[in-house]
Amino acid sequence: MENNKKILLVEDDQNFGIVLREFLTLNDFDVTLAKNGMEGFEKFKKDNFDLCILDVMMPYKDGYTLAKEIREKNAEVPIIFLTAKALKEDVLKGYKVGADDYLNKPFDSEVLLMKIQAIIQRKTVDTLADSKQFEFTIGEFSLNSKLRFLTHNDEKPAKLSPKENELLRLLILHENDLMPREIALTKIWRDDNYFTSRSMDVYIAKLRKYLKLDPKVEILNIHGEGFRLVVNK
């Protein structure tokens, strides 16, 4: 794994905090543990974190106040709340201050891990998909995603449909890496179900037809997970 993702864990129950930190460290995260909201904010200011996990009920400064302060400094960093109180008002309050997710104690650590991975992956893809780049080169092709032109060498460009264009752009942004199926479906089709999934397969087939002019470029099907655009050297 390239750089481990950094997590700020703010938890006033020290034993629980240490156990959770160990669990996340074993799963390749770089975890900074703080034992209350004040210490948590000090640590947050000194580093760049990929995600924050905050206990709601803490002395000196509760999780909501800390989340507000974090949001003033960084509007993007994902926040997961841990709480022993499962009251609807508390959950709503958490989402209001900008929480991405909520977990009631006691919880299954594997569920937390899945939530963390899903949130980080979503944020990574959002950052990629929102990048301003619109001119790309893949093998012998160039794509101008603003004009939706796919050009092979110096031949006349093919005009892609909006979905073909978006899908190819996402694949290029993930070049040589997995582009998860559900990411493309929610980004482009706005829904992940049987019908949109079949529709996406049709568009992948269309893109393969365009790309076959360069034998070095191919879209691989990663069974059950998604697709990978590879450019063989």
Sorted by where each begins, the domain ranges of the chain are 5-129, 135-231
Could you give the CA distance from residue 142 to residue 205 in angstroms, rounded to a whole number?
19
Region 214-229: what's the mean pLDDT? 94
Could you give the CA distance from residue 132 to residue 58 in angstroms, rounded to a whole number?
41
Give the largest CA-CA distance in the chain.
Answer: 67
Of residues 91 and 30, more confidence is placed in: 30
| Mean pLDDT taken over the chain | 90
Return the SS3 of 108. Answer: coil
Least confident of 55-64, 86-95, 167-176, 223-232: 86-95
Could you give the CA distance from residue 220 to residue 232 in angstroms, rounded to a whole number?
12
pLDDT over threshold 60, residue 1: no
Ranges 33-37, 57-61, 96-100, most confident: 33-37
44 Cα distance to chain centroid = 20
Return the SS3 of 95. Answer: helix
- pLDDT at residue 165 in the model: 95
Region 135-157: what's the mean pLDDT? 95
Could you give the CA distance from residue 164 to residue 219 in angstroms, rounded to a whole number?
13
Q: Place 167 in a pLDDT band, splitting at 50, 70 and 90.
A: very high
- pLDDT at residue 22 in the model: 96
Least confident of 42-51, 183-192, 210-219: 183-192
Q: Place 130 in a pLDDT band, splitting at 50, 70 and 90.
A: low
pLDDT over threshold 60, residue 46: yes
pTM greater than 0.85 (yes/no): no
CATH 1.20.1440.230: does it fit domain 135-231?
A: no
Neighbours of 2 (CB within 10 A): 4
Could you give the CA distance from residue 144 to residue 172 in angstroms, rounded to a whole number?
12
Region 137-146: what's the mean pLDDT? 95
- Which tokens belong to 42? 């000090």
Cβ atoms of 40 and 67 closer than 8 Å: no
Could you give the CA distance from residue 10 to residue 115 in angstroms, rounded to a whole number?
17
- pLDDT at residue 128 in the model: 67
Considering only the top CATH level, what class is 5-129?
A: alpha beta
Least confident of 26-30, 54-58, 125-129: 125-129
Region 201-209: what's the mean pLDDT? 97
Neighbours of 180 (CB within 10 A): 16
Give the DSSP H/E element, type plus range, for residue 231: strand 226-231
Give residues with Cβ within 8 angstroms of 136, minimum separation 6. Answer: 142, 143, 145, 169, 172
Q: Where are the beta strands (DSSP E) in 35-140?
A: 51-55, 79-83, 101-104, 135-138
Region 21-40: what's the mean pLDDT? 96
Could you give the CA distance from residue 93 to residue 19 in angstroms, rounded to a whole number?
27
Tell me whether the CATH fold assigned to 5-129 matches the one assigned to 135-231: no
Cβ atoms of 138 and 175 closer than 8 Å: yes
